[in-house]
């Protein structure tokens, strides 16, 4: 639920008894697409704000935390990622980070709602600056169906950058979907999924992701926490699953010598994110 009172945008997390607010100058856009309500605000201190069905998606100021951690740990864990598929990610920030890796030869963004991308092009152009890269491909449709139809053993890395596990995104947190991801992955392939708040969801959503990824055959699964101020509790996570690679080893030298700019990710942050808080170890161990 969201409210806009005396210049403040507020997202209320009823079940948690918490809320998050940003002081806004104005609402820049609102529309109802085939899939969701889309809103864009101009905020006083966080730049532009995108809201989907009342949930904060991203802001100009702090989306780098999420987009860097949803991409670089998995890309530097994979031995040689060449073909990458992003499910969701309509704001194009994840695609931009993926294409910073010169070894990536082909990247697909499979977003169900084209309107998200069109609004991002207008209100978050800095996230769309790689959209013209010849390696970038766009498919507007359901990622669940796309993963059923894709050629087996054809993808190195699958990034599930979706909304919360409700509505059209619910199927992206299901065992059948992970099984389809497994079939799509080449040997040495990795899946990484936005996995919500460690504080709120370690014993529920995150544990379910671990269990279902392992049931689907992803032998190694690890959750990496990271800060994300605009999301519930300000603490978020991504969960990586791999067919065969232990996920505590990554191309540390390549990460340290990466030929591109990041603002949060580096090899020490990557190594640190693999160190699990005790309550997560307790909640997630088999």
The footprint of ligand SAM (CB under 6 A) covers 35, 57-58, 66, 87-91, 110-113, 116, 142-144, 161-163, 168-169, 171-172, 194
Q: Is 164 annotated as a binding residue?
A: yes
Rounded to 5 degrees, φ, ψ at 218 are: -85, 100
Q: Is 162 annotated as a binding residue?
A: yes
Q: Is 111 annotated as a binding residue?
A: yes
Give the nearest distance from C-beta 219 to ligand SAM in angstroms: 26
Give the nearest distance from C-beta 251 to ligand SAM in angstroms: 25
Tell me the residue number closest to ligand SAM, measured at CB.
88
Closest to ligand SAM by CB, 69 vs 221, is 69
Closest to ligand SAM by CB, 144 vs 222, is 144
Q: Is 91 annotated as a binding residue?
A: yes
Beta strands in 112-234 (DSSP E): 136-140, 155-161, 185-194, 220-227
> With DSSP H G I counted as helix, E B as strand and the rest as coil, what are the percentages for the chain, rounded to 5?
35, 30, 35
Q: How far apart are CA 25 and CA 32, in angstroms?
A: 22
Closest to ligand SAM by CB, 204 vs 244, is 204
3-state secondary structure of 53: coil
Q: Is 161 annotated as a binding residue?
A: yes
Residues 28-54: b if buried by 16+ CB within 10 A, e if exposed: beeeeeebbebbbbbbeebbbbbbbbe
Closest to ligand SAM by CB, 108 vs 250, is 108
Could you say which of 62, 156, 161, 180 is catalytic?
161
Q: Is 161 a catalytic residue?
A: yes
Nearest 5°: CA angle at 282, between 215 and 195? 55
Give binding residues as ranges: 36, 67, 91, 111, 142-143, 161-164, 168
Residues with active-site annotation: 161
Give binding residues for S-methyl-5'-thioadenosine as ranges: 36, 111, 142-143, 168
């Amino acid at each position: 639920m969201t409210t806009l009172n005396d210049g403040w945008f507020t997202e209320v997390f009823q079940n948690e008894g918490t809320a998050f607010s940003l002081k806004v100058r104005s609402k820049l856009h609102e529309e109802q697409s085939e899939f969701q309500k889309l809103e864009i605000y101009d905020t006083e201190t966080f730049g532009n704000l995108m809201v989907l069905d009342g949930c904060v998606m991203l802001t100009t100021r702090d989306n780098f935390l999420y987009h860097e951690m949803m991409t670089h740990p998995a890309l530097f864990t994979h031995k040689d990622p060449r073909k990458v598929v992003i499910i969701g990610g309509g704001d194009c920030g994840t695609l931009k980070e993926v294409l910073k890796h010169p070894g990536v030869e082909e990247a697909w963004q499979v977003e169900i709602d084209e309107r998200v991308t069109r609004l991002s092009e207008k209100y978050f152009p800095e996230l769309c600056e790689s959209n013209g890269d010849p390696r970038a491909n766009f498919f507007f449709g359901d990622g669940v169906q796309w993963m059923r139809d894709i050629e087996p053993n054809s993808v190195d890395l699958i990034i599930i950058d979706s909304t919360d596990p409700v509505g059209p995104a619910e199927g992206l947190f299901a065992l059948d979907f992970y099984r389809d991801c497994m079939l799509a992955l080449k040997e040495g392939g990795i899946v990484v999924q936005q996995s919500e708040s460690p504080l709120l969801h370690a014993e529920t959503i995150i544990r379910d992701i671990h269990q279902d990824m392992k049931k689907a055959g992803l032998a190694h699964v690890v959750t990496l926490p990271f800060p994300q101020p605009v999301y519930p509790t300000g603490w978020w996570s991504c969960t990586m699953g791999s067919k065969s690679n232990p996920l505590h080893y990554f191309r540390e030298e390549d990460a340290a010598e990466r030929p591109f700019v990041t603002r949060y990710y580096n090899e020490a942050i990557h190594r640190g994110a693999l160190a699990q808080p005790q309550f997560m170890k307790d909640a997630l161990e088999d």
